[in-house]
Structure 1
Amino acid sequence: MPKKDPRLAELQHWLTTGLGWRVERLAPASADASFRRYFRVWRKGGSCVVMDAPPDKEDSAPYLKVSRLLESVGIHVPHVYESDLASGFIVLEDLGDVQYLSRLQAGGDANQLYGDALNTLARLQINGLEAAQQLQPYDRAPLSRELGLMPEWFLERHLRLKLTPEERALITVTFEFLMSEVLDQPTVFVHRDYHSRNLMVTPANNPGVLDFQDALRGPIGYDLASLLKDCYIAWPRAQVESWLRAYRRAVQGRDLDVGVDDQQFIRWFDLVGVQRHLKVLGIFARLWYRDGKSGYLADLPLTLDYVLDTCARYVELTEFVRWLELRIVPRVAPANARVLARLPQRNATPTRKAETKPKPKPKPKPKAKASQSQSQSQSQSQSQSARPRGAPNDRPQRHVVLKAT
């Protein structure tokens, strides 16, 4: 017998009694890395999506505030039709179920899709300067909190690593360097999760933008790093830098005048990307150990690869990347295997953002640098020495690197 779902019953009651709707059909739409769930509701006249955010676990007020701010500067977010903060229900425009990630993995036009995403981001950063003043600052306090997730959840909990005083000192020095670099960047409206699972392919005003409730006023490079160093899909370094240069030219000389050359802009992008990916390593581990969501562990290798690749490019991070190579890299695959061995097969499916199947194999156009089994073998053979340096597509892979067409 299926378990009772009190929240679902409460939602159905709210729709039929509170709003007076005649619901023809209601089905799960997606879940995310929080306690929120989404249901697609069909009624006469079409469909909509209802967010279920239990008020004892999620505060939906920031979602409504940021939604209004984004709409005011022309960003395509789901329009809010109805809301009940006390109950934790919000009725939203249905943007469909085609994520950027699934379209890209199916061989979609990357230049077109990323062109749209970068144009939308430029519009947000240029037109959203005034709106950003209504957001909390992405200053030292949240940056430090986020970086602290990496040693707590990824190193100590997931990898079961007992850090020495010398290692803790190295981590502290590295984190201080990263925060200093990040805080030197111009500040803009920052979405904070602007990536392929939160961008929906839409027939007009593409893309639709989701999961924006944690927006802050912060570094210009942050959302660019979220998008172009996506934890779920990888692109060759040359392609990423080409997109970055085009973006800088697009915003240069407008209201958002970054006032730096390509080299400095790329440095901003790279170093805020390291901060983000260190945070994400901690978050992905925490999602399993605290929330029971194992699927994100599969994305740890790519996330760590971004950190290794970028740190190898900056002399200030040489000691840190050597330590990662020697102490951290060899432990990731065994730690993931330990978790997966404990899971019933039915629970081992990765948790995904929307109702798409877990990462399908790319069509012939995108190419993987190595198969999963090849990559594991390479990783084991390299565990006692530093791996080849260079862009992610230049060294052994555990993930797919796509080429824009």
Structure 2
Amino acid sequence: MAETGSIIAFLARAGWADATRAPLAGDASARSYERLSRAGQTAILMKAPPGPEIERFLRIGAWLSQAGFSTPQPLARSDEEGLLLLEDFGDALMARRLAEHPEEEPALYREITEMLLALHRHTPLEDLARLDGAGLASLLDLVPAHYPCTDPAAAAQLKTAIAKTFDTLSQEPLVMCLRDFHAENIILLDRPGLARLGLLDFQDAVQAHPAYDLVSALQDARRDVSPAVERTQIAHYAAAAGLDHDRFAAIYALLGTQRALRILGIFAKLCRVDGKPHYLAYMPRVWAYIERNLAHPTLAEIAAFLRVAYPPVTPELIKELQADAPSP
């Protein structure tokens, strides 16, 4: 991360030297954010590890913007220092709107589904990682390294079963997926149509199955989405895209299982390695998604391997992980 002197010099070059700075809540990444204010104007300062992340953020953001979606426009950059000054989309997080107006949940998630349908009509960037069966399985490598694993052999068999099942079920071309796509990463803007959804945190975009981001939005680790809304949007996506509903629902359950298991590994790592135990509070919800997805009959073999390989989330398991957190 850039040091204070580098940041001051960067802001001076960008014409924001006289701005007041206020930290914003971060995420699970190594990035941090500040809101800058001056003379009635605001901007967002993103601080990232030096390297390719700034270029990747801007390249994918430009692609999304050219396709008609709303992404924060860059104002200034310093790749070598990991600094990026961005347009400020404001504070109207969809997650906050849902908390204050739960009756709007069906309409807001319908907007999300419509946005994904529109996004998936565009040919994705070719050089993005491909989450085919092998790609999905490889993402689970971090789980036994951080989340308790009771049977490493079963964990390996689980990865093989996930890859095989996906490759058997999937018939659709891979599409552009934002990956960390949920209500905390969407800002509601005063813009028409699909541009109303301001997109954040898209630099880890991949090529994946069309159900991937739908799972990310509807099986949100941070908030409960009504099961009725989830069922409705699964059916709406499949119908609008001309896909077989039953096969799409099976792939959705498979991807939900893979994503939720990986998230458990990430949350365990955030606690045990990075000293961020507050992510453990989301684990019971994430395990509940696993149980819901494993109820799908297509996932019987996957369910058998997973239940042998990994224990369920319990208060005792969470205490174990908390005990492993490094001291502040």
What is the TM-score of this pair, normalised by structure 1?
A: 0.72
Q: How does 1:113-152 map to 2 (within 5 A)?
A: 113-126=108-121, 128-129=122-123, 131-152=124-145
Deviation sequence 1:204-252 (CA, Å, 0-9, x none) = 2322111100111121110011011111222343321211222233333
Name which of 251, 256, 276 aligns with 1:293: 276
Is the CA contact 1:311–1:318 (under 8 Å) kept in the aligned structure 2? no
Name which of 44, 57, 71 aligns with 1:63: 57
Query: Secondary structure in 1 aligned to 2:261?
Result: helix
- In structure 2, the residue matched to 1:15 is 11
Q: How does 1:292-311 map to 2 (within 5 A)?
A: 292-311=275-294
Is the CA contact 1:24–1:42 (under 8 Å) kept in the aligned structure 2? yes
Name which of 61, 78, 93 aligns with 1:84: 78
Of residues 171-180 and 192-201 in structure 1, the stretch that sits farther from structure 2 once superposed is 171-180
Could you tell me how far apart the structure 2 residues matched to 1:274 and 1:328 are? 14
The share of aligned pairs that are identical, in percent, is 27
Q: Which amino acid aligns with 1:249?
A: A
Q: Which runs of 5+ in 2 are unaligned?
A: none
In the TM superposition, residue 35 of structure 1 has moved relative to its aligned partner by 0.8
Pair 1:64–1:288, CA change in 2 (3 A): same
- In structure 1, the residue matched to 2:23 is 28
Higher helix share: 2
Pair 1:176–1:21, CA change in 2 (3 A): closer
Query: Secondary structure in 1 aligned to 2:46?
Result: strand
Larger Rg: 1
Could you tell me how far apart the structure 2 residues matched to 1:215 and 1:323 are? 27
Of residues 279-288 and 178-187 in structure 1, the stretch that sits farther from structure 2 once superposed is 178-187
Q: How does 1:158-169 map to 2 (within 5 A)?
A: 161=150, 163=151, 165=153, 167-168=154-155
Q: How does 1:4-403 map to 2 (within 5 A)?
A: 7-16=3-12, 18-55=13-50, 59-108=53-102, 109-126=104-121, 128-129=122-123, 131-156=124-149, 161=150, 163=151, 165=153, 167-168=154-155, 170-181=157-168, 184-204=171-191, 205-252=195-242, 260-317=243-300, 320=303, 324=307, 328-329=311-312, 332-340=314-322
Is the CA contact 1:178–1:275 (under 8 Å) kept in the aligned structure 2? no
Q: Which amino acid aligns with 2:207?
A: R
Deviation sequence 1:278-327 (CA, Å, 0-9, x none) = 11111111111222221211111111111111112225425725863996
Pair 1:181–1:281, CA change in 2 (3 A): farther
Query: Secondary structure in 2 aligned to 1:174?
Result: helix
Q: Which runs of 5+ in 1 are unaligned?
A: 253-259, 348-405
Pair 1:103–1:30, CA change in 2 (3 A): same
Q: Which amino acid aligns with 2:89?
A: L
- In structure 2, the residue matched to 1:363 is none
Is the CA contact 1:241–1:266 (under 8 Å) kept in the aligned structure 2? no
Pair 1:110–1:321, CA change in 2 (3 A): farther
Is the CA contact 1:36–1:51 (under 8 Å) kept in the aligned structure 2? yes
Pair 1:179–1:23, CA change in 2 (3 A): farther
Is the CA contact 2:212–2:255 (under 8 Å) kept in the aligned structure 1? yes
Q: Which amino acid aligns with 1:224?
A: L
Pair 1:139–1:77, CA change in 2 (3 A): same
In the TM superposition, residue 55 of structure 1 has moved relative to its aligned partner by 0.5
CA RMSD of aligned residues (A): 2.7
In the TM superposition, residue 190 of structure 1 has moved relative to its aligned partner by 0.8
Is the CA contact 1:229–1:306 (under 8 Å) kept in the aligned structure 2? yes
What is the TM-score of this pair, normalised by structure 2?
A: 0.88
Pair 1:276–1:78, CA change in 2 (3 A): same
Deviation sequence 1:71-109 (CA, Å, 0-9, x none) = 011111111121111111111111112322222122341
Could you tell me how far apart the structure 2 residues matched to 1:214 and 1:185 are? 21
